[in-house]
């Protein structure tokens, strides 16, 4: 076996690993959304706009702003074997386009939140969502995610997925507030 074993919590091998002395060093989750409620999504965007933010899709010209947001938030990302998030340099961020679409929240001219999503096997798969610490718990994550889902609904995609570290309950709650359902829990084992 490798350094880590990542298994769904319902996998019978969890008991075998635990009996062999492995311990859980991290947990993560996956959520799914099917046929989302457009009004629920619209209201998440409206609340952010009413709070003074501008929510819009970003093009590659915003790579520098997204990179700055990510570098600022880098220490806040839970780093687990299953949820590792590597930011890299500006070139890595520029390389997100055109495979991914990026939706951001601006407070004045400053990018304070963003979500990155792509079409994968007929559904929208969110890679990550990032919000400045000064703007957390204000509906920014919900707003940018809602905007991304609405854009994908407009092109006929009605199924969505994402995941995250169990230690980031705010992320899980933000997704659930938009109608995502918890479908899987994962455990990372180490010897």
Q: How far apart are the first and last CA of the chain?
A: 9
Taking the C-alpha atoms of residue 84 and residue 82, their distance in angstroms, rounded to an integer, is: 6
Residue 190 CB neighbours (<10 A): 14
**Longest CA span, the chain:** 55
pLDDT tens for the chain, 191 residues long, are: 458 899 999 999 999 999 999 999 999 999 999 999 999 999 999 999 999 999 999 999 999 999 999 999 988 887 777 777 777 899 999 999 999 999 999 999 999 999 999 999 999 999 999 999 999 999 999 999 999 999 999 999 999 999 999 988 889 999 999 999 999 999 999 99
Which domains does the chain show, CATH number per domain?
A: 5-190 (3.40.630.30)
Q: pTM for the whole thing?
A: 0.91
């Amino acid at each position: 076996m490798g350094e880590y074993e990542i298994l769904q919590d319902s996998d019978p091998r969890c008991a075998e690993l635990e009996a062999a002395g492995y311990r859980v060093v991290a947990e993560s989750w996956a959520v799914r959304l099917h046929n989302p409620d457009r009004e629920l999504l619209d209201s998440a965007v409206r609340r952010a706009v009413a709070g003074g933010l501008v929510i819009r899709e970003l093009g590659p010209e915003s790579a520098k702003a997204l990179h700055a947001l990510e570098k600022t938030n880098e220490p806040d990302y839970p780093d687990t074997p299953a949820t590792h998030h590597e930011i890299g340099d500006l070139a890595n961020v520029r390389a997100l386009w055109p495979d991914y679409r990026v939706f951001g929240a601006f407070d004045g001219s400053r990018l304070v939140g963003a979500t990155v999503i792509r079409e994968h096997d007929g559904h929208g798969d969110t890679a990550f969502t990032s919000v400045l610490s000064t703007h957390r718990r204000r509906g920014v994550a919900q707003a940018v995610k809602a905007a991304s889902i609405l854009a994908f609904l407009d092109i006929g995609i009605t199924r969505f997925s994402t995941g995250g570290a169990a230690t980031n309950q705010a992320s899980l709650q933000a997704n659930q507030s938009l109608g995502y359902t918890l479908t899987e829990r994962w455990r990372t084992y180490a010897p």
